[in-house]
Amino acid sequence: MKVLVADDSGIMRKIIIRSLKAVGVSDIVEAANGQEAIDAFKAEPVDLILTDWNMPEKSGLDVVVEIRAMGSQVPIIMVTTEAQKGQVIAAIQAGVNDYLTKPFEADDLRAKLDKFVTV
């Protein structure tokens, strides 16, 4: 299973990657902004995407919209500080499969991964 992790914070990517490795995922692609995430996905499709919302270049929401416009149904988990109801609805309408708000506890992230990770 290949997973794309997009977040402009290197620390946050490390936290997510640590959790991914804990559930047995080792094939991981990192992106530091939305455009890098889209480029990485175009270069090699993945089985799961975890993306931040607020990133330089392109936002996580832009990533979701563009990937869905390509016809891909890859599961996408939005991991973000944006927690207002309207934003969650906008993300789901754009095609996000699940939503995790920052800050989170390790168990919260693990529960989200358990829904989508198959190794």
| Residue 60: CB minimum distance to another protein, A | 13
Tokens (6 digits) for 94: 């754009």
| Residue 82: CB minimum distance to another protein, A | 7
Q: Which is nearer to another protein, 72 or 101 (CB)?
A: 101
Give the separation between CA 105 and CA 3, rounded to whole angstroms: 20
Q: Answer yes or no: are the C-beta atoms of 28 and 5 closer than 8 Å.
A: yes
Q: Answer yes or no: are the C-beta atoms of 5 and 31 closer than 8 Å.
A: yes
68 exposed, middle or buried (CB, 10 Å; 0-12, 13-18, 19+)? middle
Angle at alpha carbon of residue 31, lines to 108 and 48, rounded to 5°: 50
Q: Which is nearer to another protein, 26 or 54 (CB)?
A: 54
Q: Which is nearer to another protein, 47 or 108 (CB)?
A: 108
Q: Answer yes or no: are the C-beta atoms of 114 and 106 closer than 8 Å.
A: no
**Which residues are at the interface with another protein (CB under 8 A)?**
8-12, 14-15, 54-56, 80-84, 86, 101-105
| Residue 86: CB minimum distance to another protein, A | 8
